[in-house]
């Protein structure tokens, strides 16, 4: 993909970090129109949440095909249209459960082959057919090291360091203590004796109505957008965060002239708005705001789980998935090793979105459990929750915590490499 990320070209409130590029996503936030895409099933408006390319809520069709708006330079793609002509279909779909399509379209069994044939051709037509760009085959290499480290923050002298912030893609941990890495034009199999993971964390969304609205962003994304000048002075910000994050949010607001209208470690009852956040509803009433910042984090555990670590939902406060045990050759550091969310629990509201990628609501999980699906793995297959492009990064803790509330076995579902979706072209390599 040949997007060139350039510096912001001025005209924004200070301080602006010229190293932070203006992207299609940051421009959308700057112009108060953060709805960049629509969800697949219910056609709900969605916007950038993470600013780092893992939440997959900002997908647009760029000049080279599908792309994430937070990864595309502002000048490289026109702003997406704000109207979604399929929204009425989404409103109808909201009356049906996520498994409606399979149940209807794949019956009768005799016609299943034909139905799949039609669906495949439909999904490869029109804008959905945006082709992945051609990628030149990579060179395949194998290296043997004593220590491999994922995350520059944990770099050790002499270690093989994989830095996702510099463009490295850690693909997965495979048998034989092997870490797969995409680096530039190389596909590298790193054989290690010891593995250190500082993989950071993701947003842990509150299970409340409106938690998927454009304008709900993670704290790191808010800092990124503020740094690139996308948050105008006077923007009204509501923040849900544990106490230890408060100073960070206050300093973000102070240094960028934002109006912090609400901050608490208790989640609001709801987030309101149509195509973007307009207000939150708390016990004290409605508070108008333009941005809802999520400071609660879920440790990023994909690689650790692939490496054989075990995790479970925490029991104090709002549940997150935290590590229980790791193999002796694995060390997890930093935010990935967090053992608590630091905020009080929030009962899941029926209208809340549990899985954003697959449009699975808390009410869908309840309906699924009521039908007799009493294991997280079965609920995952029935509803599609945790199987979308974010691969459960944003939703695993919410889905599993909801299932636990319903008395269902909420053991984490299986984690399989790859750690993030990649095209087959990216994996093509010459040995
Ligand atoms: S904001 Fe672009 S993928 Fe998350």
Least confident piece of the model among 46-55, 242-251, 313-322, 420-429: 420-429
DSSP assigned state of 70: G
Share of the chain above pLDDT 90, in %: 67
Tell me: pLDDT of 103 over 70.
no
Confidence of residue 416 (pLDDT cuts 50, 70, 90): confident
**Ligand 1 within 6 A of 56 CB?**
yes
Q: How far is 220 from 164, CA to CA, in rounded Å?
A: 15
**Ligand 1 within 6 A of 55 CB?**
yes
Measured N-to-C along each axis, helices 362-370 and 396-405 cross at an angle, to the nearest 10 degrees, of 50
Gap from CA of 100 to ligand 1 centroid (Å): 28
Coil vs helix vs strand at 46: strand
Share of the chain above pLDDT 70, in %: 89
**Ligand 1 within 6 A of 67 CB?**
no
Tell me: pLDDT of 115 over 90.
no
Q: Which residue has the tokens 């930093």?
A: 334
Tell me: pLDDT of 19 over 50.
yes
**Ligand 1 within 6 A of 222 CB?**
no
Q: How far is 222 from 49, CA to CA, in rounded Å?
A: 9
pLDDT digits (tens, 9 = 90+) for 282-318: 999 999 999 999 999 999 999 999 999 999 999 999 9
Gap from CA of 51 to ligand 1 centroid (Å): 5
Coil vs helix vs strand at 219: helix
Q: How far is 421 from 271, CA to CA, in rounded Å?
A: 30
pLDDT at position 201? 96
Non-local CB neighbours of 251 within 8 Å, separated by 6+ positions: none
What is the number of the ligand 1 atom nearest to the C-alpha of 70?
A: 2
**What are the CA-CA distances from residue 226 to residues 80, 135, 223 (Å)?**
22, 33, 5
What is the number of the ligand 1 atom nearest to the C-alpha of 54?
A: 3
Q: Are 388 and 427 in contact (CB under 8 A)?
A: no
Tell me: pLDDT of 266 over 50.
yes
pLDDT digits (tens, 9 = 90+) for 118-141: 777 766 554 444 555 556 778 999
pLDDT at position 65? 79
pLDDT digits (tens, 9 = 90+) for 358-390: 999 999 999 999 999 999 999 999 999 999 989
What's the chain's average pLDDT? Answer: 88
Q: Whose CA is closest to 70, among 51, 86, 87, 89?
A: 51
**Ligand 1 within 6 A of 25 CB?**
yes
Gap from CA of 315 to ligand 1 centroid (Å): 29
Gap from CA of 71 to ligand 1 centroid (Å): 8
In this structure, the dihedral spanned by the alpha carbons of residues 206, 208, 211 and 213, taken in order and rounded to 10 degrees, is: -160
Gap from CA of 85 to ligand 1 centroid (Å): 23
Is residue 299 within a helix (H) or strand (E), and if so which, with residue range?
strand 297-299
Mean pLDDT, residues 396-419 taken together: 90
Q: How far is 307 from 199, CA to CA, in rounded Å?
A: 13
Of residues 11 and 193, more confidence is placed in 193
Distance from the first to the final alpha carbon of the chain: 23
Q: How far is 29 from 223, CA to CA, in rounded Å?
A: 13
Confidence of residue 17 (pLDDT cuts 50, 70, 90): low
């Amino acid at each position: 993909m040949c997007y060139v990320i350039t510096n912001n070209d001025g005209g924004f409130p200070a301080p602006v970090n010229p190293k932070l590029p203006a992207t299609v996503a940051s421009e959308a936030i700057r112009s108060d129109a953060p709805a960049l895409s629509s969800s697949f099933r219910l056609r709900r408006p969605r916007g950038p949440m993470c600013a780092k390319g893992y939440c997959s809520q900002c997908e647009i069709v760029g000049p080279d095909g599908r792309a994430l708006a937070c990864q595309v330079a502002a000048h490289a793609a026109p702003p997406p249209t704000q109207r979604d002509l399929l929204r009425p279909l989404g409103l109808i779909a909201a009356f049906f459960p996520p498994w409606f399509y399979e149940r209807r379209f794949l019956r009768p069994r005799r016609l299943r082959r034909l139905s799949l044939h039609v669906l495949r051709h439909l999904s490869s037509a029109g804008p959905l057919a945006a082709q992945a760009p051609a990628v030149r085959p990579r060179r395949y290499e194998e290296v043997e090291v004593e220590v491999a480290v994922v995350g520059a923050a944990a770099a050790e002298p002499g270690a093989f360091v994989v830095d996702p912030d510099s463009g490295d893609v850690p693909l997965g941990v495979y048998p034989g203590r092997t870490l797969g890495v995409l680096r530039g034009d190389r596909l590298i199999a790193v054989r290690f004796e010891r593995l250190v993971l500082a993989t950071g964390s993701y947003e842990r969304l509150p299970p409340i109505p409106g938690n998927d609205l454009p304008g709900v962003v993670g704290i790191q994304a808010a800092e990124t957008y503020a740094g690139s000048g996308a948050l105008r002075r006077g923007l009204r910000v509501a923040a849900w965060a544990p106490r230890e994050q408060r100073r960070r949010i206050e300093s973000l607001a102070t240094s960028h002239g934002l109006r912090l209208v609400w901050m608490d470690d208790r989640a609001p009852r709801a987030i309101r708005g149509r195509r973007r956040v307009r207000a939150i509803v708390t016990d004290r009433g409605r508070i108008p705001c333009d941005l809802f910042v999520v400071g609660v984090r879920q440790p990023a555990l994909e690689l650790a789980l692939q490496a054989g670590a075990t995790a479970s939902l925490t029991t104090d406060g709002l549940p997150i998935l935290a590590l229980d045990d790791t193999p002796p050759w694995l060390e997890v550091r930093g935010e990935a090793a967090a053992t608590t969310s630091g905020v009080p629990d929030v009962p899941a509201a029926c209208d809340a979105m549990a899985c954003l990628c697959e449009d699975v609501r808390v009410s869908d999980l309840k309906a699924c459990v009521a039908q007799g699906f009493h294991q997280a793995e079965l609920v995952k297959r029935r509803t599609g929750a945790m199987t979308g492009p974010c691969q459960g990064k944003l939703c695993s803790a919410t889905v599993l915590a909801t299932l636990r509330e319903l008395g269902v076995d909420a053991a984490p579902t299986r984690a399989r490499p790859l750690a993030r979706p990649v095209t087959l072209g990216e994996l093509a390599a010459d040995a």
